[in-house]
Structure formats: C-alpha cells, structure tokens
Amino acid sequence: MKTRGKVIVAGHICLDVTPVFPGNGRMGNVGEIFQPGRLLHMDGVDIHTGGAVANTGLAMKILGNDVSLIGKIGDDAFGKIVLDMLGAYQAEKDMIVSAQTSTSYSVVLAIPGIDRIFLHDPGANDTFTPEDLDWQMIAQAELFHFGYPPIMKNMYRDGGRELAAMLQKVKELGTAVSLDMAAVDPASEAGKAGWKEILKAALPYVDFFVPSAEELCAMLDEDLYREWSRRAAGGDMTEILNMEELHWLGEKVLELGVRVVMIKCGSSGMYFKTAGAERLKELCVSLGLKPEEWAAKEGFEKSFEPEAVLSGTGAGDTSIAAFLTSVMRGEALEEAVQMAAATGACCVAAYDALSGLKPLEQLKEKIRKGWKKNECCI
C-alpha cells in the first residue's frame, strides 16, 4: 500500500557502537560483570547509526515513505561513517555537517538478561537549533516527526522555549507534528530541566505524541515514578504498569493539547488514547484519516512474542516508524498501534534498529496466521 505525502524526520542522531556479548543467557548482574581490571572477551561489535533521525527516519523510508532526514553531525571520522551509512539508503543529502562540533556517539551495552546501558556523548545534537531546519521543505511536508529533545540541550534549556517555538512554527505551516522523547538521568542537567513545564509549552502543538511510559511518568509525576521504581524493585518497570495509571497519563497529555498519544510500554505492549472528533477534525482532513476510526479511542495492544531477544536498541523508534507509516497510509488507529507492537517484536531480534524490520504486509499475514501475544498484567 502506498503512503501519502512527504515526511520529515528531524532531531537526534548518533553513531551506535554495540559490543556483542557472548551467548544469550543471563551473565549475572552489572556489578559482577564489570569489575576493575577484568578483561571481558566479546563476540564482535555492531556499528550502526542511532537516534531518532536514523532509527525512525530510515525505518520509515524502508517501509515505503517519502522521507527526508535532518540531523546535525560533526565534520569528523564518526560523521563520515554516519553519512556513508545513510548514503546506503540515499538519505544523507539533508544532513547538517558542522566543523565546529563533533559527531554524537553511544556505546550500547546490551548485556543478555539486563536492560541496556548507554554511554552517550551528545556532540552536535547539543548545538542543534530550529535555524538548522529547511523550513521550505517542512512547509511542503504532510508530517514532521521530531525525536529526543531531552538529549538535545537547546531543546530543553530556557523551559523548552526553542522546542515549543519550533513545533508552533511547524503547525502554523499546516504540517502535522509528531514528537518522541528520550530517557534522561534525573541527576543530569537535562533531568533537572523542569519537564512538566516544557511539556505544557510544547504539547499544544503536537498531534502524535509517542513517549515511553517511564519517560512520560518521570516528566509528569515524580512521585508516581518513584512508586513505579519501588514496585519494580530493580526489575523492568513496564512489567508493573496498570491500565488505571496509563489512563491517568493519557488524560494528562490530552489535557495539555495532544491529539493522539501512544505510550510505549516495553515488552508489555502499547497504550493509546485519542481526543474527540472535534479536536481531530483538522488532523483527519489533512492526513486522510477517518474520524470514526481515530476519535475518542482508548485501549492497550499487547506485545507479540519475538523470535529472539538480542537487543532492544531502536525497537521503540521502529515501532513509531510503523505507527506513522500506517498513519500516512490512512489506516485505522487500532491497526496502526498493532503494526507498532508487531514491529517492536521483530526488531528486538536484532542488535541494531533496522535489521529486524519487516514489511507491514508480512506482519499482517503473520498476525492472521495466529502470531501469539505475550501475557502481561495490563
């Protein structure tokens, strides 16, 4: 099925370096694995582009969208690798290359049986500003997706003033807006930025908001986030979620102005909630969506059983790509969320974000043949 219109994916981009740990079984806890002076033998290394621009942008391109990628990198060795990798998809021409900064990178420690650990240098992402964008191109696009403002300094400083102004300008040009977030260290500068106020400023201009449950809860309600941490007791926080709390988060972001929210809940699945028909009217007309298939909806899509679990790197980003691809195809909300959940299950079976990606038609066929879903508490 063909998608409609031009898509811009902008925001954070980096080079992901993922050492491959031997075996698939649990290796112990982090303190046991990483001890001073210990030499760990690895099974190779996986090097790929990372961040929302590469993960969501390239995934949307692979899934058949007309996509332009806009991210900022340095004029250095890592930057050349990023351009070469994007060039393999003919997706490098709109990248911003600056000699005044360095390319962002992440060392991704995907230890079997343990959630990922990221060693991240934001590099050029911290210097990204709305002035870097091609506004003429955005005016001609139907959808603008922006990813990871919590790890882009200019997007969260001064109460998120530049982020809100950028999204407002996109909306005024008549282009639909999608926004993804990223987790931050509460003790970091970004973690202390006052995210509740930043969201209040930015979300009135957002049509599709696609954060993770942990990110959103940490930003909107620190007390609830601490309660989740207590209940998880060091385990996966997404395994202790309940529908009542997700409903509360969904209500909060709709009150702040969002039209459609899809909350990524890790291995449990995807929660979704939408505004009423009147607030969705303009969006549905601009993107060719049927109001009866999108307005005043709420639900939870359980995740599908993956063939293997190698790494969660980029799985959330590619889930968003499948969701937005379905949007650009004019499909119903429930089908868009289902494609997001199915794509996430495929992508955890690879170390990078894109190797596990499957055509949406192939996923639909697998579902028709009885693809099993994971059991969860929600």
With a pLDDT cut of 90, the percent of the chain lying above it is: 76
- Residue 167 inside a domain? The answer is yes
- Residue 325 inside a domain? The answer is yes
- Residue 279 φ then ψ, to 5°: -70, -25
Residues of the domain holding 193: 6-26+43-368
In the block, tokens 């894109």 appear at 354
Please, are residues 349 and 306 in contact by the beta-carbon 8 Å criterion? yes
Residue 137: other Cβ atoms inside 10 A: 14
Q: Which amino acid is at 212?
A: S
User: How confident is the model at residue 207, as a pLDDT?
Assistant: 98
- Residue 32 inside a domain? The answer is no
- Residue 117's pLDDT band, with cuts at 50, 70 and 90, is confident
Domain count, the chain: 1
- Mean pLDDT over each residue of the chain, to the nearest integer: 93
Please state whether beta strands 14-19 and 45-50 pair in parallel, antiparallel, or not at all (unpaired).
antiparallel
- Residue 378 inside a domain? The answer is no
Segment 17-26, tens digit of pLDDT: 989 888 765 5
- Residue 377 inside a domain? The answer is no
- Residue 374 inside a domain? The answer is no
- Residue 352 pLDDT greater than 90, yes or no: no
Please, are residues 234 and 115 in contact by the beta-carbon 8 Å criterion? no
- Residue 2 pLDDT greater than 70, yes or no: no
- Greatest CA separation found in the chain? 62
- Residue 245 inside a domain? The answer is yes
Segment 177-218, tens digit of pLDDT: 999 999 888 888 999 999 999 999 999 999 999 999 999 999
Please report, for the domain that includes residue 172, its CATH number.
3.40.1190.20
pTM value is: 0.92
Segment 304-332, tens digit of pLDDT: 999 888 777 788 999 999 999 999 999 99
* Burial class of residue 157 in the structure, from the number of CB atoms within 10 Å of its CB (0-12 exposed, 13-18 middle, 19+ buried): middle
